[in-house]
Amino acid sequence: MKGRVLVVDDDVALAEMIGIVLRSEGFEPTFCAHGDEALDAFRAASPDLVLLDLMLPGKDGIEVCRLIRAESGVPIVMLTAKSDTVDVVLGLESGADDYISKPFKPKELIARVRARLRRTGDPAPEHLLIGDLEIDVTGHRVLRDGVPISLTPLEFDLLVALARKPTHVFTREVLLEKVWGYRHAADTRLVNVHVQRLRSKIEPDPENPVIVLTVRGVGYKAGPPDG
Amino acid sequence: MNRLSSRAWRAYRTVTRWPVRAVRRWRSSLQLRVLTTTMLLGLVAVALIGTVLSQRISADLFERRTTEVLQEAARATVQMRSNFDASATRTGPEITEMFLYSGRQSLLTGSADRSVFLLRSPGPLPPVLVNDFVSNEALRSLITPELRAATADAEGGQRWQSVAIPRDQSDPTAVTPGIIVGSTVQVNIAGQYELYFLFPLAAEQEVLGFVQRTMAIGGVLLVALLVAMTWLVTTQTVRPVRTAARVAERLADGHLTERMHVRGQDEMATLARSFNEMAESLQDQIERMEQLGALQRTFVSDVSHELRTPMTTVRIAAEVLYAAREEFPPALHRSAELLSTQLDRFEELLADLLEISRFDAGAAVLDAERRDVRDVVASAVDTVSALAERRGSWLSVEFPERATYVDLDPRRVERILRNLLVNAIEHADGTDVEVTVGVDERAVAICVRDYGVGLSQEAAEHVFDRFWRADKARARTTGGTGLGLAISREDAHLHGGWLEAWGRSGLGANFRLTLPRRAGIQLTGSPLPLVPDNPMPAAPALPTQTDESAVGRGLDPAAIPDLDRLEAR
């Protein structure tokens, strides 16, 4: 499916260029050039995906990301000119699902956008159990004792990927491919940050995880279903 | 070295160490030097003064006593002469009696302890022979023949001589100074006799001894006082200097706010003030440099951001044009292609520039992990195998037989190797490229050898310079930014390693990367030689070469490092 994409970038030329590329691929871009107006633009456009520049006038990208994440689980892809560790991790921790560092090629951009808009899951109803959680894959819901837990689509995908093969150990590289859609080696910090975020939402005690377990030196696996 | 000899060595070291320590202390302590000098000079001065004084005093005492003694002896002689003249003795026993009487009398009068000798002068025998009178037989030998001769020649005048009177027969050194005064007397019918008086100078000697002892004690006290005063003065002078030294050391260690305590208005206060002013300006300078450094880093980061955003726009635009190139007329078609490929090059250059400015700003961080160096080499070789195939070069790799774990940043080391390999393949002109991995306990070395056009010696020195090209006219077919090897060398240095080049025109080139196996190991050598011993392409199974590489790769059991054994567990 094609979707609406909100491009938040203060560089008008780049925004326009991104718009041209997105339109040529059938997406509907809308634009916002100021950090302070980003949230209003987001509410007005209700996009399926947000492309967010880290450096913005007014509120910076990190702040905007936090605000959007506070009210929606919509996929957010950061555009960053800084590949320095701190900025990327800060952006991911504030709720971004993925990032592209400038300069990027249009194909790369489209691939990232497609990967985030792609709907996972089979049409057949599917129910998974992991720990004390119940996952309704088709309904895109996670329930604990019948109470739904709010997850972003990416966190949901991550959890489903782990829960489909309980006790199977996934390396970070495999998870990058399955959940983020990377074909070649990429930044494994993406996985680390999102596992932390997921745990903070689903684990009864995030310090001692029982649902998403770390396998030291290898990667992650799902804990066994209860009872 | 066995245990015993090592212990002996240690003992020897302990023995030989203290003079070394003393010398070091002597050199390092101004105060010690000043104190020692003061003490030595003081002792010499006191000794000189003491000697001179004591000589003057003893000479004076002796002179006075001599005058007294001569007067006393003269009086006693006159007395004895008058006794002899007045007597009317005619026989030997009478004269002997008179000798005894006069001698005893002269012993009783005058100063105590003196001895009297009445000896017959040599000459023709007189009509009556009388025995000599000697009050102390033991001291008779003190009257020397020279004195007797002189006395005899004096014709009634006085002659004297100073002598050493033995106090104790058994100890020849225990003597008291004394004076013997001699003159002649005429005795009726018995002829001429010599009269000698021996005066011991025991009292004077005692006085002199007392004076000398007093002076010695005084001298020692004076020197002690002098040393104490010097110590006090030097301490007062040296303490601020020491404080300054300590503060300077703290400053040097980076505690830039450290200052000296200023007290009073004297020279030391001036020193402290000047020192503090110096520290102040130093701190200013360093802070300014730090700010410049921070500014530089911010600048690099800003340039990075500012350049990348328009770069992205241009990049995307170029790609859009490139994707649609088939619809363009030929000139535009080619333009779109050129735009796209040159943008790739531009992007590479930008990335390299940013990387090198990160090194310059000291912002490069080593992301080290423990990896089998063979994996890293294999991965780098994999990435260039396609290029090697295109250029018709064979790539051969020699590995150590067992896993060799090294603390390294795989991204950087792979980048170095990729650079070296691409370089080698580019310049090999279709000849073979050899990669050799050598290892010892402390280091791992990776050599990339090609047999192409080679490097001149001068080129080998400059090959790591930024934007340096071996041949300015040579067309760069596979591109390259001119920064690759400079970045590689920075990457090697970041590991605490070496990156070196060897080359001869026509014989190819050899690049050697040496890395310490663990962080903190200081490299002292490399497991592989930089200058290859086979300048021509290696013939298979050359005996010398296999020997060399066998040792280099640690196949010799003695060369197998313990690290590997630990790793294997």
Q: What integer pLDDT is reported at residue A7 of this predicted model? A: 94
| Cα distance between residue B181 and residue B198, in whole Å | 7
Distances (CA, A) of B82 to B76, B87, B139, B436: 10, 9, 26, 128
| Cα distance between residue B431 and residue A22, in whole Å | 48
- Which of the 8 DSSP states describes residue A176? I
Options 1.10.10.200, 3.40.1160.10, 1.10.10.10, 3.90.400.10; CATH of A127-222:
1.10.10.10
For residue B67, tell me if it sits in a domain. no
Inform me whether the pLDDT recorded for B435 exceeds 70. Answer: yes
Q: What integer pLDDT is reported at residue B416 of this predicted model? A: 93
DSSP codes of every residue in B21-70: HHHHHHHH-HHHHHHHHHHHHHHHHHHHHHHHHHHHHHHHHHHHHHHHHH
When pLDDT is averaged across residues B52-59 and rounded to a whole number, the result is 91
> Kindly report the CA angle at B498 between B497 and B504, in degrees rounded to 5?
165
CB atoms within 10 A of CB B71: 12
Q: Pick from B475, B357, B494: which is nearest to B416 by CA?
A: B494
When pLDDT is averaged across residues B243-250 and rounded to a whole number, the result is 84
For residue B64, tell me if it sits in a domain. no
Both B100 and B120 in a single domain? Answer: yes
Closest chain B C-alpha to A15 CA, distance in angstroms: 8
Could B316 and A21 be called an inter-chain contact, meaning their C-beta atoms sit closer than 8 Å? yes
DSSP strand E in B400-517: where? 405-408, 433-439, 443-450, 498-504, 508-516
The edge-to-edge listing of strands for the beta sheet with A147-149 is: A127-130, A133-136, A141-144, A147-149
When mean pLDDT is compared across B44-58, B97-111, B234-248, B286-300, the lowest value belongs to B97-111
Inform me whether the pLDDT recorded for B14 exceeds 80. Answer: no
Using pLDDT thresholds of 50, 70 and 90, give the confidence band for residue B534: low
Distances (CA, A) of A218 to A9, A158, A173, A175, A214: 38, 17, 10, 12, 8
Could B309 and A109 be called an inter-chain contact, meaning their C-beta atoms sit closer than 8 Å? no
Q: What integer pLDDT is reported at residue A30 of this predicted model? A: 94
Could A24 and B311 be called an inter-chain contact, meaning their C-beta atoms sit closer than 8 Å? no
- Which pair of tokens denotes residue B194? 């010599």
> Do A102 and B312 contact (CB within 8 A), yes or no?
yes
Both B271 and B383 in a single domain? Answer: no
Q: What integer pLDDT is reported at residue B7 of this predicted model? A: 55
Both B538 and B481 in a single domain? Answer: yes
How many domains is chain B built from?
A: 3
> Do B438 and B404 contact (CB within 8 A), yes or no?
no
Domain boundary among B335, B364, B393: B364
Domain residue limits at B172: 73-207
Q: Give me the percent of chain B exceeding a pLDDT of 70.
A: 88
The residue ranking higher by pLDDT, B190 or B112, is B190
Both B414 and B518 in a single domain? Answer: yes
Q: What integer pLDDT is reported at residue B119 of this predicted model? A: 84
Inform me whether the pLDDT recorded for B1 exceeds 60. Answer: no
Both B379 and B335 in a single domain? Answer: no
Selected residues 48-67 of chain A with any CB under 8 Å from a CB in chain B: 55
Closest chain B C-alpha to A185 CA, distance in angstroms: 12
Distances (CA, A) of B557 to B403, B440, B560, B565: 15, 12, 5, 12
| Cα distance between residue B569 and residue B566, in whole Å | 6
3-state secondary structure of A38: helix
Inform me whether the pLDDT recorded for B436 exceeds 60. Answer: yes
Q: Pick from A193, A131, A124: which is nearest to A162 by CA?
A: A131
The residue ranking higher by pLDDT, B493 or B76, is B493
Q: Pick from B389, B434, B383: which is nearest to B413 by CA?
A: B383
Both B356 and B390 in a single domain? Answer: no
For residue B103, tell me if it sits in a domain. yes
Q: pLDDT tens digit string along A142-199?
A: 888 888 888 888 888 899 888 888 888 998 888 888 888 876 666 778 888 889 889 9
For residue B237, tell me if it sits in a domain. no
Q: Residues of B near A (CB-CB distance < 8 A)? A: 301, 304-305, 308-313, 315-317, 319-320, 347
Long-range contacts from B168-175, C-beta under 8 angstroms, 24+ separation: B169/B138
Contacts of residue A82 in chain B, CB cutoff 8 Å? Answer: 301, 304-305
Contacts of residue A13 in chain B, CB cutoff 8 Å? Answer: 310, 313
Q: How many residues does chain A have?
A: 227
> How many CA atoms lie less than 13 Å away from B270 in the CB half-sphere?
4
Both B450 and B543 in a single domain? Answer: yes
When pLDDT is averaged across residues B328-351 and rounded to a whole number, the result is 88
For residue B360, tell me if it sits in a domain. yes
Could A14 and B312 be called an inter-chain contact, meaning their C-beta atoms sit closer than 8 Å? yes
Q: How many residues does chain B have?
A: 569
Selected residues 20-39 of chain A with any CB under 8 Å from a CB in chain B: 20-21, 24
Domain boundary among B318, B344, B364: B364
- Which pair of tokens denotes residue A133? 């959680």
CB atoms within 10 A of CB B37: 11
Q: What integer pLDDT is reported at residue B552 of this predicted model? A: 38
In degrees rounded to 5, what are phi and psi of residue B317?
-60, -45
Domain boundary among B364, B386, B411: B364
Q: Which stretches of chain A drop beneath a pLDDT of 50? A: 120-121
Both B358 and B504 in a single domain? Answer: no
| Cα distance between residue B499 and residue B76, in whole Å | 111
| Cα distance between residue B453 and residue B506, in whole Å | 5
Both B377 and B351 in a single domain? Answer: no
Q: pLDDT tens digit string along B496-525?
A: 999 999 888 888 889 999 999 988 888 888
What b/e string do you get for A127-136 counting C-beta neighbours within 10 Å, with b at 16 or more? ebebbbbbbe
Both B438 and B500 in a single domain? Answer: yes
For residue B53, tell me if it sits in a domain. no
Q: What integer pLDDT is reported at residue A76 of this predicted model? A: 92
User: Domain holding B297: CATH number?
Assistant: 1.10.287
When mean pLDDT is compared across A112-121, B8-17, B20-29, B379-388, the lowest value belongs to B8-17
Q: What integer pLDDT is reported at residue B499 of this predicted model? A: 93
When mean pLDDT is compared across A83-92, B47-56, B305-314, the lowest value belongs to A83-92
Residue the block writes with tokens 């994707």: B323
Q: What integer pLDDT is reported at residue B553 of this predicted model? A: 37
Both B323 and B385 in a single domain? Answer: no
Q: Pick from A187, A198, A122, A188: which is nearest to A156 by CA?
A: A198
Using pLDDT thresholds of 50, 70 and 90, give the confidence band for residue B557: very low
Q: What integer pLDDT is reported at residue B228 of this predicted model? A: 93
When mean pLDDT is compared across B79-88, B158-167, B260-269, B551-560, the lowest value belongs to B551-560
The residue ranking higher by pLDDT, B155 or B406, is B406
Q: Give me the percent of chain B exceeding a pLDDT of 90.
A: 17
Could A102 and B317 be called an inter-chain contact, meaning their C-beta atoms sit closer than 8 Å? no
> Kindly report the CA angle at B348 between B354 and A178, in degrees rounded to 5?
95
CATH class for the region spanning A4-117: alpha beta
Q: Pick from B536, B356, B329, B349: which is nearest to B431 by CA?
A: B536
- A107 in contact with B at a CB cutoff of 8 Å? yes
For residue B62, tell me if it sits in a domain. no
Q: What integer pLDDT is reported at residue B11 of this predicted model? A: 54
* ipTM for the assembly: 0.74
For residue B3, tell me if it sits in a domain. no
Q: What are the structural domain ranges in chain A? A: 4-117, 127-222
- Which pair of tokens denotes residue B327? 């619809």
Q: What integer pLDDT is reported at residue B483 of this predicted model? A: 85
Both B198 and B272 in a single domain? Answer: no
